[in-house]
Chain A
């Protein structure tokens, strides 16, 4: 039996407290009024921060106008169809004053309108947008001539409001990314567990109790994510702009999707998915324990069938989950590959977590039958699925980059322009480094190498989720600060607490699994 070391427990509590403080601080410092937001942005400028891409532009001298252009270009970048932006521009353009800003507007309009024409505009909505674009164009031109100093103030105010919303989203988004990431790690481990059961793997049964420990986080993890989704539906935060009736009212594209993207249906789906995953986890854990005391293999067979059924449920719900909880933060953007891409990301994180916790328990002398061959196999999966993730990442990115269709390419344009380092940095962390570190057979058997690679992979996939959520919610106001780090620490602490508590509940070796002997003697 495993005993939860008091030091690890204390460590987990410290992480949670520190994390909670960080999260609390970020909520406390988030602006509650537009004026405060303005002050924050102003402080960033005078402080000479260069972290976000647009600040560099500011240094060119027309600080104000660039900012402004950004603010308006922003929704266009986030969202796919220009229509939304266009109308915004149409409203604000006549008032706006700065010549540079107007030029910027014109560029945007010209480009988008042109794009619409080239593509012969795919939707009726977009066609409208094209026309609006033209109107806006002439209006802008008119405004160019007849500007007055008063209008400057209005445009500025609009921009400030936009930044205000982004800054308000920031602490929520930080919590959401971390909560989702840790819950999905647990789900990734559950998928791996299901696959091992269904495939009748002979090497892994000695790790089943570790996997079951990790998947125990699924219950609290799902509850927290569900609460965050409910908070969104109740308008406590604005991570999902399609939940905002004011946004939907003037957005034809979102209106078209509201049969799917609406609060109640969104929550019902989430509840069904989570219930299904948790049910499988609880059921298979129960059978796995009963098999220890059984006289035949009936519980093993039940688990085999349950694993097959779960995997079918999983492949469907996982895809939909990724559209709902992640893709819909950019409600104008879509990609058919997205679900499988998200899967690869958390699947590799789940396997990595299994490897790290196995190594920890082994180092404390708990896993008698786990040898370097088991670690080698886990490391091979970390390696292989990292490559698989990269394959999907590249496929999605390259196809959109290549075809360069404005509706979808804005997703990557936004990320490359404003999230350059995280966007390409994650490819280094999730692909280049793991492939270089883990290609060597001997290295895959060394604990410290696997821990090193595992840490890089987990950090890399956190950044992956960060890149998926942040651009749409906080835009160029991103920063990895107290809120983001705090949220990760908090959930890490909670994860450790839940997982290691579960590990203490039962012996760490599944006794009567029919494949356990194979697993105990596994040598590669």
Chain B
């Protein structure tokens, strides 16, 4: 795929004196060991939050959507905010596994597995909102174009909400297949190391009989490339379609053409922040510091900085064009955001999304794990408020002043959101104990070019004969 020569200026991606076996052992350890007390505490908290969310959803479905804070003017609020937020978070996984694969970024190999897992778990959270924000969720299957006994009553394919159905379901399925394909060699590794018959049986089923022959590897790589090629436009189109929910409308503040790429940039931004949050904890708790290095965190911070700047340019573009358009409603939408009753959410969003990533220009800051962790959380708060600002501030004051109103969430709104966070962590915690969280097969493929040990060997070797490399 790529050449075996690597420039000396590139820093090692695998730290320490690791060999192939060390990688296997390090990756398998969390799966083969037993969960400690901290894990059980974290799991219990996540489970409690999840169950509370289930209760709130049950209450909503049983009693009616009026238990939420949405009203006649603000028909979409926390539900769609959370939906877009979760979908956005999911995007980084595909970005890391697909786009970084296309750009041959070797550093993705230590983080792609967890990022993909994060994608799948957050898309699951996201997918619940479109269902449960319906007034009659038990008729949700009507959104599917299924032949039926109503004289074949069909869906209208002109609605972005229907496109959402196709986008999200396709996205979830493709991500799942992509992720699972990559897991085959790693499950096989766990299968081959299993001591108990039960785990052998389980990982034997999960690994689909992977035997790692040359032909299999060749096809495996080809499939990964094709899926990466498909997942990249998919990931762009999914968040684009989500942005169409707003941009196709005629609401001032919503109807703007920059929304598709700007939502995608925001998704990468928030998704990478979430990956950073999770991996900073995981590398510590699972003893994976040799693979998820400070350089990985630094590079993720750089992606956050770049996408944060793109989002910043988009904010300024929207502001400028609102003025330039000469459309009073458009101008007011932005004045309202900055100075209206939700000014605090707008300025919170601006501070978190535009200013906070700019500190990453300083190497000291972007290589500090503590600061990275804080900023990664700040960014996700900011991105939640971005969606909230776009949705609520555009709705609560638009064309007719007689329809102006406010939005106040209820505990049920919050409960559903907390429930999805709980559910996400339930899934992620279970994943981190039962799945190989680092794609060991991939990491092994960069061992000889990018590990600290081999880099030192190369260096010593290079001093003797430089010409050797020229004949690969």
Contacts and interface: CB of A to CB of B under 8 A. Distances in A.
B21 interface: no
B326 A521 contact: no
Contacts of A219: none
Interface string A426-446: 000000000000000000000
Contacts of A338: 257
Nearest to B265: A340
A334 interface: yes
A405 B2 contact: no
Nearest to A260: B324
A81 B261 CA distance: 27
A336 B313 contact: no
Nearest to A253: B326
Interface string B381-405: 0000000000000000001100000
A402 B318 contact: no
Interface stretch (A209-217, A468-476, A511-519): A511-519
B469 interface: yes
Contacts of A392: 260-261
Given A122-B327, A256-B326, A521 B309 contact: no
B255 A334 contact: no
B240 interface: yes
B270 interface: no
B254 to A, nearest CB: 9
A199 to B, nearest CB: 8
B313 A319 contact: yes
A120 B399 CA distance: 8
Contact of A315 (B249, B313, B329, B472): B313
A114 B286 CA distance: 66
Contacts of A81: 326
B209 interface: no
B257 A391 contact: no
A241 to B, nearest CB: 15
Nearest to B261: A340
Contact of A122 (B6, B244, B330): B330
Interface string A302-327: 00000000001001100100010000
A391 B240 contact: yes
Contacts of B399: 120
A337 interface: yes
A230 B384 CA distance: 46
B36 interface: no
B7 interface: yes
B398 to A, nearest CB: 10
A399 interface: yes
Interface string A172-183: 000000000000
B51 interface: no
A403 B259 CA distance: 14
B201 interface: no
Contacts of B310: 315
A395 interface: yes
B224 interface: no
Nearest to A202: B7
Contact of B248 (A312, A334, A336, A399): A399
A339 interface: yes
A337 B257 contact: yes
B321 A334 contact: yes
A517 B7 contact: yes
Contacts of A260: 324
B470 interface: yes
A395 B257 contact: yes
Contacts of B326: 81, 122-123, 125, 253, 256-257
Contacts of A391: 233, 236-237, 240, 260-261
B1 A524 contact: yes
A415 B6 CA distance: 51
A509 B226 CA distance: 34
B250 interface: yes
Nearest to A392: B261
B257 A400 contact: yes
A392 B261 CA distance: 8
A514 B8 contact: yes
B247 interface: yes
Given A319-B317, A395-B260, A122 B328 contact: yes
A392 B314 CA distance: 14
Contact of B7 (A122, A398, A514): A514
B53 to A, nearest CB: 34
A312 B328 contact: no
A125 B470 CA distance: 71
Nearest to A401: B248
B7 A515 contact: yes
B9 interface: yes
A391 B233 CA distance: 9
Contacts of A402: 248
B9 A515 contact: yes
A377 to B, nearest CB: 9
A522 B1 CA distance: 10
Contacts of B314: 336
Contact of A521 (B3, B9, B233, B321): B3
Contact of A123 (B3, B102, B328): B328
A256 B323 CA distance: 9
A40 interface: no
Nearest to A515: B7
Among A256, A316, A334, A515, the one with the most B-chain Cβ atoms within 10 Å of its Cβ is A334
A514 B132 CA distance: 56
B313 A257 contact: no
A364 B416 CA distance: 67
A399 B240 CA distance: 11
A521 B257 contact: no
Nearest to B327: A122
A387 B309 CA distance: 23
B276 interface: no
B327 A123 contact: yes
A1 B1 CA distance: 32
Contact of A399 (B236, B255, B317): B255
Contact of A336 (B3, B237, B321, B400): B321
Interface in B213-265: 233, 236-237, 240, 244, 247-250, 255-261
A391 B243 CA distance: 13
Contacts of B10: 200
Nearest to B243: A395
Contacts of B152: none
Interface in A228-284: 253, 256-257, 260
B257 A399 contact: yes
Nearest to A377: B104
A191 B450 CA distance: 29
A29 interface: no
A40 to B, nearest CB: 35
Interface string B34-50: 00000000000000000
Nearest to B329: A122
Contacts of A122: 326-330
Interface string B288-299: 000000000000
A33 interface: no
B240 A395 contact: yes
A323 B249 contact: no
B344 interface: no
Given A323-B324, A523-B2, A336 B9 contact: no
B325 interface: yes
Nearest to B264: A391
A200 B105 CA distance: 11
10 contacts: A120-B400, A122-B327, A125-B326, A200-B9, A256-B326, A392-B261, A521-B3, A521-B5, A521-B469, A524-B1
Given A257-B326, A391-B260, 6 more contacts: A122-B330, A125-B326, A339-B317, A391-B240, A391-B261, A407-B325
In the A-B complex, list the 6 residue pairs whose CB atoms are closest, starting with the nearest: A336-B258, A337-B257, A122-B327, A395-B260, A402-B248, A514-B9
Interface of B: 1-3, 5-10, 102, 233, 236-237, 240, 244, 247-250, 255-261, 309-310, 313-314, 317-318, 320-321, 324-330, 399-400, 469-470, 472
